[in-house]
Amino acid sequence: MIQQLSVFLENNPGTLRAMTEILGIGGVDLLALSLADTQSFGIVRLIVSSEQMYTALGLLKDNGYIAKMNHVICACVPDRPMGLSELLSVIESAGLSVEYMYSFLRAYASGTALMILRMNDGNLAESVFSEKGIRMLSQEEIDSL
């Protein structure tokens, strides 16, 4: 599994910009990002290289943000119609569920899309994916993107 950073944001104009600006000025390179928003708050999830992970965490905490690190799966999906739904069929037949999912910003290899998945059971999902031949990126591979 790979590391992910999640950050709490108040649902107000300018909060997302302010946060990305802090990371940007600190030289943090965002590899993937998703924003979950509700009526009253937002959660930003970020993938950065492991080298920059603690820089990013430090910058956020120093600026008074609530941020946490956790683990997610980065799966390769064939970049063609039905690619994603095949992956989801595997998940469904294994009785697993996706808590949230988003796609990578950066291209990986031609014909392949990268999806970030937060599963209800990450370890089980990893073994199911390996069994079914779904390729997942390691932290080292993320770092060398």
Partner 1 sequence: MSERKHLIYDPARECMSRDELTALQNARLIETVKREYENVPMYRSRMDAKGIRPEDIHGVEDLKHLPFMDKRDLRDYYPFDLLAVPQSEIVRIQGSSGTTGKPIVSGYTRNDVDIWSEMMARTLTAAGCTKEDKVQVAYGLGLFTGGFGAYQGADRIGAMVVPMSSGNTQRQILMMKDLGVTLLCCTPSYATYLGETIRDMGLVPGRDIKLKAGCFGAEPWTEEMRIHLEELLGIDACDIYGLTEIAGPGVAFACLEKEGMHVNEDHVIAEIIDPVTEQPLPYGQKGELVFTTITKTGMPMLRYRTHDICYLTDKPCDCGRTFARMSRITGRTDDMLVIRGVNVFPSQIETVLVATQGVAPHYMLIVDRVNNSDTLEVQVEMTEEMFSDTVSHIEEVRRHITEQIRSVVGITAKVSLMAPKSMPRSEGKAKRVIDNRKL
Residues engaged in binding partner 1 (CB under 8 A): 4, 6, 8-10, 15, 36, 38, 40-41, 43, 45, 64-66, 68, 70, 99-100, 118
Of 13 and 64, the one with the shorter C-beta distance to partner 1 is: 64
Q: How many Å apart are CA 94 and CA 111, to the nearest integer?
A: 26
- In what side-by-side order are the strands of the sheet with 112-119? 32-37, 41-47, 2-10, 67-78, 112-119, 98-103
CB of residue 80 to partner 1, shortest distance in Å: 30
Phi first, then psi: what are they for 13, rounded to 5°?
A: -60, 140
CB of residue 77 to partner 1, shortest distance in Å: 21
Question: Which pair of structure tokens corresponds to residue 22?
Answer: 């802090």
Of 7 and 75, the one with the shorter C-beta distance to partner 1 is: 7
Of 28 and 112, the one with the shorter C-beta distance to partner 1 is: 28
The vertex-74 CA angle with 140 and 15, nearest 5°, equals: 100
Of 40 and 144, the one with the shorter C-beta distance to partner 1 is: 40
CB of residue 15 to partner 1, shortest distance in Å: 8
Q: How many Å apart are CA 37 and CA 45, to the nearest integer?
A: 11
Of 46 and 142, the one with the shorter C-beta distance to partner 1 is: 46
Exposed / middle / buried, residue 90 (Cβ in 10 Å: 0-12, 13-18, 19+) = middle
CB of residue 5 to partner 1, shortest distance in Å: 9
CB of residue 118 to partner 1, shortest distance in Å: 7
